A = this chain, B = another copy of it.
Amino acid sequence: MKTEIISIGDELLIGQTINTNASWMGQELAKIGIKNNRTTTISDTEEEIKIALTRAEEYADLILITGGLGPTKDDITKKVLCDYFETELVLNEEVLLDIQEYFKLRNKPFLESNNQQAMLPEKCKVLRNKMGTASGMWFERNGKVFVSMPGVPYEMKHLMETGVFPKVRKKFGLQELAHRTILTHGIGESFLAEIILDWENRLRAANLEMAYLPSPGLVKLRVTSNQGDFKLVNTFCDELYSIIPEYIFGEGTITMQETLANLLLERNATLSLAESCTGGYASHLLTKIPGSSSFYEGSIVCYSYDIKEKELGVPKSTLLDKGAVSKEVVELLSEAIKNKYNTDYSIAISGIAGPSGGTEDKPVGTVWISARSNQQVVSRRFNFGNNRERNISQSALAGFNLLRQLILSEQSNP
């Protein structure tokens, strides 16, 4: 079975919009065991769309089309689809009611052009769109499936999830896959691969699949059974917790800061931060989480020596003797912020983000992090390399992870 994505829109070709739709679809297709074999991005002209449809029909069994629909662009794509499938636009009463309701709910005036959106090709099966006014259209010819969807990402995703995936699975007789995604932090892909080599070999011998999905600051391990054998997937994934317990921080799509937030919420505990090199980024990651005010009190971004000294009481002599990037200073910072903001936990981060400021002893990328509870403090030195933005983001994640591990260690050794 072959799949092709056709993305329609000049804004994609000239780089005004990045084609995240195609990558999302590629990812989601992979999860149900379908590989996207080709993506073609074209202008919304009759000629280009016809060429793309003809070639896709020769090549693929499943053709997913996004874009070229909507109140102003509707005409060309729908007209081409009608020509291509030798059918005509007819009024779909149900869709018309949907659209009228959509405008009513949003207190928006219903324009004549919106009526057009209820005109749909007679031969297609209409996929109702509850997130917008452009319907999805499902065509079949000679066992091949074509689906046309609007290009607005959340409308496309809604149609894919509610309409397309279930129908595709049925149409192509796909078994449900069994997946589990384990999230690791603090170890690179190649080192990880070495440690879990034996496990991975056994996993493959048991007919499971495994993919390393690296993204900034973490490596995801996705384990898949194409036979839908959830039990087997679980056996292997559970085993991983005894092989690399120190690197696993979660599963699925959770972020490091969300796992920490959950630990704090479960304990009804509060957190404060003292950030130097991360300059507010760690605080930003926490406050991006809706409801973070339940566990997060605030922080001091102590970018200068002065603020470290005056606001957080680090003695000038310590700053000069040990340097701002030192175990001593981050431990004083984590203590001061915890007391000052009266929280259950604190994290302090101080490092040399670069590009300048490095020394032989402490090159750019050197970062000291201290995490503190009422019982204990743990501090660690890291080196994240030369890139300033990477240093900032890795430091924040490492700080969250250090506190996460501290909290878990207290749970197991009360």
State the A residues within 8 Å of B (CB). Answer: 12-20, 22-30, 35-43, 48, 55, 213, 273, 275, 277-284, 286-288, 290-293, 296-304, 306-307, 311, 340-342, 353-356, 388-389, 392
Determine if B311 and A340 form an interchain contact, defined as CB atoms under 8 angstroms apart.
yes
Q: A18-B23, A297-B303, A298-B303 are in contact. Are A13 and B41 (CB under 8 A)?
A: no
Determine if B13 and A35 form an interchain contact, defined as CB atoms under 8 angstroms apart.
yes
User: What is the count of identical protomers in the complex?
Assistant: 2
The docked-state distance in angstroms from the alpha carbon of A311 to that of B343 is 14
Identify which of B14, B18, B28 contacts A20 (C-beta below 8 A). Answer: B18
Determine if B287 and A355 form an interchain contact, defined as CB atoms under 8 angstroms apart.
no
Q: Chain B contacts of A282 at CB under 8 A? A: 280
Q: Chain B contacts of A278 at CB under 8 A? A: 284, 287
Determine if A15 and B27 form an interchain contact, defined as CB atoms under 8 angstroms apart.
yes
Determine if A14 and B26 form an interchain contact, defined as CB atoms under 8 angstroms apart.
yes
The docked-state distance in angstroms from the alpha carbon of A275 to that of B279 is 13
Q: A19-B19, A303-B293 are in contact. Are A38 and B25 (CB under 8 A)?
A: no
A38-B43, A288-B389, A290-B355 known; 13 other A-B pairs, CB under 8 Å? A13-B36, A13-B39, A15-B30, A18-B19, A19-B23, A277-B287, A278-B284, A281-B287, A283-B284, A297-B307, A298-B300, A298-B304, A311-B341
Main secondary structure, interface of A, reads mixed
Determine if A279 and B300 form an interchain contact, defined as CB atoms under 8 angstroms apart.
no
Identify which of B30, B37, B280 contacts A281 (C-beta below 8 A). Answer: B280
Nearest Cβ on chain B to A106's Cβ, whole angstroms? 12
Determine if A39 and B14 form an interchain contact, defined as CB atoms under 8 angstroms apart.
no
Determine if B291 and A298 form an interchain contact, defined as CB atoms under 8 angstroms apart.
no
Identify which of B28, B38, B301 contacts A280 (C-beta below 8 A). Answer: B301
Q: Chain B contacts of A20 at CB under 8 A? A: 18
Identify which of B18, B29, B38, B281 contacts A284 (C-beta below 8 A). Answer: B281
The docked-state distance in angstroms from the alpha carbon of A356 to that of B302 is 30
Closest to A290 in B: B355
Determine if B341 and A307 form an interchain contact, defined as CB atoms under 8 angstroms apart.
yes
Determine if B299 and A280 form an interchain contact, defined as CB atoms under 8 angstroms apart.
yes
The docked-state distance in angstroms from the alpha carbon of A291 to that of B353 is 10
The docked-state distance in angstroms from the alpha carbon of A52 to that of B206 is 37
Closest to A306 in B: B297
Closest to A213 in B: B16
Q: Chain B contacts of A307 at CB under 8 A? A: 297-298, 341
Determine if B30 and A23 form an interchain contact, defined as CB atoms under 8 angstroms apart.
no
Q: Chain B contacts of A29 at CB under 8 A? A: 14
The docked-state distance in angstroms from the alpha carbon of A354 to that of B281 is 19
**Could you write out 11 A-B pairs with CB less than 8 Å apart?**
A13-B36, A14-B29, A18-B20, A280-B287, A281-B287, A287-B392, A297-B303, A298-B304, A299-B301, A300-B300, A301-B301
